[in-house]
Every structure is written in structure tokens, then in C-alpha cells.
Structure 1
Amino acid sequence: MNRARVIRPVVDLLRSPKGPRDRQLLYGDGLDITEQSGGWCRVVSDKDGYQGWLRADQLGPDAPATHWIWAPATHAYAQPDIKSPDRVSLSFGSRVVVLSQQDRFVETELGFIPAVHVKPVGTLLNDPVAVAELFLGTPYLWGGNGRWGLDCSGLIQAGLLACGAACPGDSGDQERDLGTALPEGTPAQRGDLLFWKGHVAWVSGDNMLLHANAHHMAVVFEPMDQAIARIEAQGDGPVTAHKRL
């Protein structure tokens, strides 16, 4: 078994070589390589144990990150100057190695990133719903896990991992593993999760959900009663669980 990390801004974690995307990994995500074949690597992600296939050229030597990106997205610049060329864009949750700090920038292996956009590894946020709100307007993407596209379970995972809580990658596993199931009729409160078959949403406030969904093709706020009625009417069934973390 070999250690490695992702060296592209975002990569698709595939079910098989050249197969469909199941999830995504972000720059700096650590992983174990369990199999190699024809330029492809079967990997196990550190952050949630998810398994899949990546191209070998998307991976580099393992290097423990020192900082993580906590802004919705950021740029790495050629120089510590906002007018210098931007080299690459990174999503919330990406992990980097900081080499030094120069004025308002940190120097990384990719270039210079605004210091206000990074936090030391181990620094946690405290409100997963507030984290999810950073993704408002992000396009819906099946299996997505970054600022340029994510799905319902990706939105849940982004919030919980940033707050130090373990979280599986898929909504079915999240329904099984997260929180405590509440009796039907229990008033919902901020931070609760509502599950349907194949879908999950944050409760963000009084009668309000925050979720990535294919109806709006984006991360949106939606009135809870409206969402429940719409999802059932479109044939996806009733709420299957109301859970509190």
C-alpha cells in the first residue's frame, strides 16, 4: 500500500477506470493506493474511506498539509500581488503546504494564496450549516464535492468535515450513520437533517431547508413544506428520516 495526495484542483473518483464518477477529491486530499493498473490507481480516501479509481498523473507524493482553504474558493497567484497572474483556483476544503508568509499572502507549492483564505490544519469551524451556506448558488453536480459543483451529500459532508465531525460521502450512508432519528412530528431546528430516498437536506431555520438539488440545479434555500410536497409529487417519495446531530 502506498501513500499519495491529490495534485489537481479537483478530480473525479471513478467507480472503475474510465467509469462513472461516484465522488470527487480536492487538492491535497490524502489517500492510500491499494491497486495500480495501466496508469490508473485504486485509492481509499483519508477523509471518509471512500474507494474508487484515479489516474496516476492526478497523484503526487504524500506531503502532510499545513493549512486548508476555508474561503468558498481562492486563487494561487504567481507573486504575492493580486495583480499578478493567477495560476490555479482551489475550492473550499483543499489542503496546501505553506512554505512562508509574505505580507498578506502565504507562499505554497502552487503559488501565493491570500492569507485570509487559509487556516492551519486542525483549526475547525463550529456551524456546519453556516459552512453549507458558503456554497449558495453553487451548481448541482452529481457526485460533486467542490465549489464548482456538488450534490446533496457533498454539501452535508463539506459542513461536517469542516467542523471536525466524521461524515460518509453518500446520502444513504449518512442517513444510517449520522445523528439520532427523531419521532415523526418533532419540530425541526437548525442543524437537523431531513432524508429522502437518495436525497438529504440541512434544516437551516424555521420552515427552511438548504440543499443541493437537481430541481433547482444549485444549492438553494427552499421552504421545508414546499420542498417536502415537491419531492413527493415528483415521485421521489416522502421524508424517510429526520435526524439531529
Structure 2
Amino acid sequence: MDRRLLKSNGHVAHVSLVGQVDADRFVEGERFRITTATAPILQTPNDTGRDREMLFGDDFIVLDEADDHVFGFSERDGYVGYTPRDALAKPSSDVTHVVQVRQSYGKSSAALKQRDEVLLLHHGARLCVKQVEDGWAECDWPRDRGEGSLYLPAAHLSPIGALEDDPARVAERYLGAYYLWGGNSSVGIDCSGLVQAALMACGIPCPGDSDMQKQALGHPVPQGSPYERGDILFWKGHVAMVVNSETLIHANAHHMAVAYEPIAEAIARIAAQGDGDVTAHKRLERR
């Protein structure tokens, strides 16, 4: 089983794995919520890198504890690993809204010119809006030191069910964002993180890594077919999205950013650097 989706650390496993894996205990797990701008998902508690990231408001199902980290899985896409304990708090309410712009911020007061605590919030961050007044959305802010409120510009939010209809347009919102391996935020993002953000904003389930995306997304397009907006191109270890018949957008280490690139040039460049040809051209179902 793929360890990225295997809800077991060898000692504790999710109850869905009874009879499938060996473990000392099987548990339902307990839901916690990310209360920091981002939180990493790590392969081990002492990992110095990251597999993926979660965003403010994402729910993480905790199965086991390990010192200052906890083991579990992201409810958003099922990705399994460890995350810092201090990035989590118990949710007190249901999510109602999502950040729809590339970046926003939360303040501890609803006052534009008042200098106070500010939290950077990324596209896709999820919040519970309690009320909107004078252009500010008052949102729950569960933290270990107690409940509080976070105030955001209401214009930066959309209701959780108000889905977008053009994944490529969402991806274009990230143009110029830094390339960051394992990143999922508007500050730093990688190729599969960009595709996941674009699709999930449109209500399309999407795994976290490019190899899983290749298996799960869309249907193959016959070789030589014209490229259409929203098509997804895969290489070994890389993924990009088509924006028009001649251009793609991708987060990549060549530009060290999210960038447009002519499709023909990208294909030639990636092959020349030794990473092979396109392995799949996939098309999503039209909605």
C-alpha cells in the first residue's frame, strides 16, 4: 500500500484498516484544525523536509501522538504523515467560507488602520464566518490559548459551496508565486500543488502528488490531439496545465516560479534536461 495514503504508522492504524494491516490499536481518530497559515505533512516527526502542506482551516485527523508532532491524515485529500502539534486546535464550528483571492490576511481587530496581530492567509484557506460588518468578516480563530476572532476583508472570501468553473483561471492566480518543493500555498508551491489548488477550487477531487494525479484525473487524450484549456500534461515527476492550444502554466524549478511556457518549448526543454517525454495527456470531464 502507498505509505502516503496508508493510515497507519505500524503502532496505530485507522479503523478502516482492520484486517488489512497489523497494528497495536485501531482508532477512529480525532479531528483537529490547522490554525497557522500553513502546516507541513512530514514522513517522520524528525523529517527536515515536507511531503505536502496544509492550509489554515484544513482538518487533520489525529491517530497517534509523537512528542511535539502528531500522526494522522489530511481530511482534504487523505495524505498521511506527521504535523506539528502546535499548528492544531479543536474546531469549534463548521467551515463556511474560503479565501478566493491569491492572498489575504486576518487581523485581531476590524480596523483597517490599527496596527495589531496579522496572519497571512492563502488562497484556499477555510474559515467560519460569524458575521460581516463594515466590510470585515469576523471569523472563528480556535487556538490552544483559547477562542478568539480573526477579521478578514469580506471581499476576499466566498461561500464554501460557491465553486469556480475554470481550473486554468485559478492556476493563473498563482503566476509568479515561488516554486517550493512540497509547497501548497501562494507563497511557495510545486507543480502538483498548483494543479490540486486549481482543481479543488472547482470542486474536483485531486490527490496531492503528480503520480497519484496521473492515475486519478481525467481520461487519456489520443496522441497528437489538439491541446484544450484545462488539459493536464504529465511527465515523470512533473505536471502542468494547458491554458490555450500553445501555452501551459506550471510551477517549475526551471523558472523557480509559477510561469507560462510554450507547450512545444516545455516539451523540448524537459526532454533535453533528461526528464523524458510527456507520459500522459489527460482531459477532465466538462461540467
TM-score of the pair, normalised by structure 2:
0.83
Q: In terms of Rg, which structure is larger? A: 2
User: Which aligned pairs between 1:1-245 and structure 2 lie closer than 5 A?
Assistant: 1-19=29-47, 20-62=49-91, 63-85=93-115, 87-108=118-139, 109=141, 110-245=149-284
Q: For residues 81-100 of structure 1, what are the alpha-carbon distances to aligned partners after superposition, in whole Å with 9 as ceiling and x for unaligned?
A: 32223511100000112121
What number of residue pairs does the alignment pair up? 245
- Answer 1 or 2: higher relative contact order, Cα 8 Å, separation at least 6: 1
Aligned residue type for 2:266: A
**Structure 1 vs Structure 2 CA RMSD:** 1.1
Partners of 1:64 and 1:22 in 2: CA distance: 27
Q: Name structure 1 gaps, 5 residues minimum.
A: none
The alignment partner of 2:181 has SS state of: coil
Name which of structure 1's ranges 61-70 and 204-213 shifts more when overlaid on structure 2. 61-70
Q: Any runs of at least 4 consecutive aligned residues in structure 1 with deviations exceeding 2 A, and if so which?
A: 77-82
1:206 CA displacement: 2.2
The range that moved more, 153-162 or 79-88, is 79-88
Q: In 2, Cα distance between the equivalents of 1:34 and 1:111?
A: 28
SS in 1 for 2:36: coil
Q: Do the aligned residues in 1 keep the contact of 2:38 with 2:56 (CA within 8 Å)?
A: yes
Distance 1:50 1:219 in 2: 23
Unaligned runs of 5+ in 2: 1-28, 142-148
Identical counterparts, % of pairs:
44
Moved more, 116-125 or 160-169: 116-125
Which whole-Å deviations, capped at 9, do the CAs of 1:190-214 have from their partners, x for residues lacking one? 0100000000000001210000000
Cα separation, 2, equivalents of 1:79 and 1:26: 22
Whether the 8 Å contact between 1:77 and 1:84 is mirrored in structure 2 is no
- CA shift, 1:78, in A, is 3.4
TM-score, with structure 1 as normaliser? 0.97
Q: CA–CA distance in 2 between the matches of 1:124 and 1:190?
A: 18
